[in-house]
A and B are shown apart, each in its own frame.
Chain A
Amino acid sequence: MSGARDKPGTISGDDDSIVEVDSVKEELEEQEETWSRLLPELVAEVVRRVESGGAERWPRRRDVVACACVCRRWRDVTQSVVRSPLSCGHITFPSSLKQPGPKDSPMQCFIKRNKKNSTFFLYLGLTQSFADKGKFLLAARRYRNRAHIEYAISTDPEDLFQESNSYVGKLRSDFLGTKYQIYDSQAPYAGAKASNSRSTRRFGSKRISPQVPSANYETGHAHYKFNLLKSRGPRRMHCTLQSPISSSFTEQDPQPSDRNEDDATKLVMNKPQIGTVVLKNKAPRWHEHLQCWCLNFHGRVTVASVKNFQLVSTEGDEETVILQFGKVGDDMFTMDYRHPLSAFQAFAICLTSFGTKLACE
């Protein structure tokens, strides 16, 4: 107050003035912005506790997304605190849908088909049961585009057009439904060439933001092979996809402590190296007693169907199932995927299974 006492170790203002009314007012105005200016480390402390306070799993995980949407600082901090699906086994942001899944155990999802509208909806399973509501991940709409059949994939179940802000990629098939290309709306790596331009027609009120590049980048393909000899035999699939290479660098997400590393090191660590993953379907075994082809779906597939498949790597480990897809109800299918596939890639591959009609059965 009067400031007359001279205490050692104290810091006083330029003059020993009493707090002015003006500076109180200034302080109150500053307080209006204080939460957005909370130190990043302290925002991180809060966000970590949001995560550990029940928001590890959906639907509560949306609390973490809300934190990332509040303002720039909170967004930066939340995105640095939250780990990728590969590291933590959880899907958090829409961007997680294009990141590889975990290595140790698959992400268990399910797909609901709406035959009438030719639409498909991918959900993350929340429990072991097939009856749970799930967390919505992606939607796809099948349509004809001249001589091709295409599936537009989106994060908005109500807006399934390429013009949408929520469009994330598409699948395109040839006339026979045996060859498919997978397109990503985002460049998989810096300098990638777009395959073709995306339609930019205005459609309703959900026009693409002008800043969003409107192109499609081919990131993979899937082929089905004829079964010349055994018309009733299982279909043979072959998939090639671009995927970030798993290495000791790219496996780990940059943690806050990594901030101390110099920028050059960080660039090497964070830059995704893109490689090619080649998958084929696991050959079923002929069950003499049951007189049918069998694959072990470990209870995740309950209805026999020619659409059911398991994909394994063509190099090295040919036992671990990278993608498993199968019927559990009239319009209900399970999809289990793991590293190196992402949810988006897995969904696109599963959609091909709905499209194949001619020459393979």
Chain B
Amino acid sequence: MGFPREADDHAEKLRWRGVPGVGDGSKDVSNDQQPNRNSGAEVSISLPSITGKILAKVIEYCEKHVFDFKQGGPGEDWDREFVNVDQAIIFDLIRAADYLAIQGLLDLTCKKVAAQMANKSLEEIRKLFNIENDYTPEEEAAVRQEHPWAFFD
């Protein structure tokens, strides 16, 4: 999707902070390269397809959840508010969470999307997610049988 960009605006935040759970899938994070504040050395993490804006959200999530195992998370209200954002942002968050292997964030964002689909018809889902019908005629015929059957009251 487009060309890879640096997380430009938020370059400073890329300094390694030792957030647990981040980096299992990301090849470029190195445990050894702890930044030395005095020297000003920085560790750059390559995150293709993740914008600075999204990365900031991811970091926000990680910072809030970093001590989940010790003192529990920030609570459902915080989580709910955290994913109370545009569809496009949720989409990017899902992909970022998957790329960075942050299970908690992946779970939260996918649950949000799943909840949005509750009790919606096919047309409503397509509209909400801006998805076009790309079926072949055979597939279309099957859908035209399935959908009314499922929703028959």
Contact = CB atoms under 8 A, between A and B. Distances in A.
Interface of A: 1, 3, 7-14, 19, 23, 26-27, 30-36, 38-39, 41-42, 45-50, 53-55, 59-63, 65-72, 74-75, 93-94, 136, 155-157, 165-166, 209-212
B137 to A, nearest CB: 6
Given A70-B122, A71-B134, A10 B44 contact: yes
A72 B135 contact: yes
24 contacts: A7-B42, A7-B44, A9-B28, A9-B45, A11-B48, A14-B3, A31-B88, A34-B88, A39-B95, A42-B95, A42-B110, A45-B98, A45-B110, A49-B107, A53-B111, A63-B117, A63-B119, A65-B149, A69-B147, A70-B129, A72-B139, A136-B152, A156-B148, A211-B137
B6 A12 contact: yes
The binding surface of chain A is classed by DSSP as loop
Contact of A50 (B6, B95, B114, B148): B114
Contacts of A3: 6
Given A9-B45, A69-B143, A136 B149 contact: yes
B114 A209 contact: no
Contacts of B85: none
Given A7-B42, A38-B91, A70-B126, 8 more contacts: A13-B3, A33-B131, A39-B98, A42-B95, A49-B107, A69-B122, A71-B131, A94-B145
Contacts of A48: 110
B46 A23 contact: no
Contact of A166 (B43, B133, B135, B149): B149
Contacts of B145: 94, 155-156, 165-166
Contacts of B8: 1
Contacts of B111: 49, 53
Contacts of B48: 11
B19 to A, nearest CB: 18
B131 A70 contact: yes
Interface string B112-153: 011101111110011001111111011111011111111111
Nearest to B131: A36
A211 B2 contact: no
Contacts of A68: 146
Nearest to A212: B141
A1 B7 CA distance: 10
B91 A34 contact: yes
A182 B43 CA distance: 70
B114 A9 contact: no
Contacts of A63: 117-120
A49 B110 contact: yes
B70 to A, nearest CB: 27
A157 B121 contact: no
Contacts of B95: 38-39, 42
A62 B147 CA distance: 8
Given A32-B130, A35-B91, A72-B139, A50 B117 contact: yes
A53 B3 contact: no
Contacts of B148: 156
A166 to B, nearest CB: 5
A66 B115 contact: no
Contacts of A75: 135, 139, 143
Contacts of A1: 8
Contacts of B110: 42, 45-46, 48-49
A347 B132 CA distance: 37
A317 to B, nearest CB: 33
Contacts of B17: none
B132 A33 contact: yes
A286 B131 CA distance: 63
B74 interface: no
Residue in A30, A34, A55, A60 with the greatest tally of chain B CB atoms within 10 Å: A34
Contact of A66 (B107, B120, B130): B120
Contacts of A32: 130
A49 B114 contact: yes
Given A1-B8, A23-B3, A39-B98, A65 B150 contact: yes
Contacts of A54: 118
A27 B1 contact: yes
B2 A30 contact: yes
Contact of A35 (B98, B131, B144): B131
Contacts of A36: 129, 131-132, 134
A27 B2 contact: yes
A333 to B, nearest CB: 20
Contacts of A38: 91, 94-95
B5 interface: yes
B73 interface: no
